[in-house]
Amino acid sequence: MPETAQEEIVIDLQGLKKSFNGNEVLSNITLQVKKGENLVILGKSGEGKSVTIKCIAGLLQPDAGSCRVFGKEVQQMDPAELKELRKRIGFLFQNAALYDSMTVRENLEFPLKRVAGLHDKGEIEQRSMEVLEAVGLTDAIDKMPSELSGGMRKRMGLARTLIVKPEIMLYDEPTTGLDTITSREISELILDMQRRYKTTSVIITHDIPCARITSDRVVIMHNGEYIASGTCEELENADDEFVRSFFK
Could you list the residues that contact other proteins (CB under 8 A)?
57-59, 83-84, 86-87, 89-91, 93-95, 97-101, 110-111, 114-115, 160-161, 164
Are residues 85 and 74 in contact, defined by beta-carbon separation less than 8 angstroms?
Answer: yes
Of 4 and 101, nearer to other proteins (C-beta) is 101
How long, in residues, is the chain?
248
Residue 96 CA to residue 151 CA, distance in Å, equals 10
Q: State which residue, 91 or 246, has the beta carbon closest to other proteins.
A: 91
Q: Closest distance between other proteins and the C-beta of residue 100, in Å?
A: 7
To other proteins, the closest distance from the beta carbon of 128 in angstroms equals: 15
Give the residue with the Cβ less far from other proteins, 13 or 89. 89
CB of 194 to other proteins, least distance (A): 19
Min dist. Cβ of residue 191 to other proteins (A): 22
On whether the CB atoms of residues 95 and 174 are closer than 8 A, the answer is no
CB of 190 to other proteins, least distance (A): 18
If the CB atoms of residues 86 and 218 are measured against other proteins, the closer one turns out to be 86
End-to-end Cα spacing for the chain: 29
Distance of closest approach, residue 115 Cβ to other proteins, in angstroms: 4
CB nearer to other proteins: pick between 72 and 114: 114
C-beta of 110 vs 247, nearer to other proteins: 110
Strands 64-69 and 72-73: antiparallel
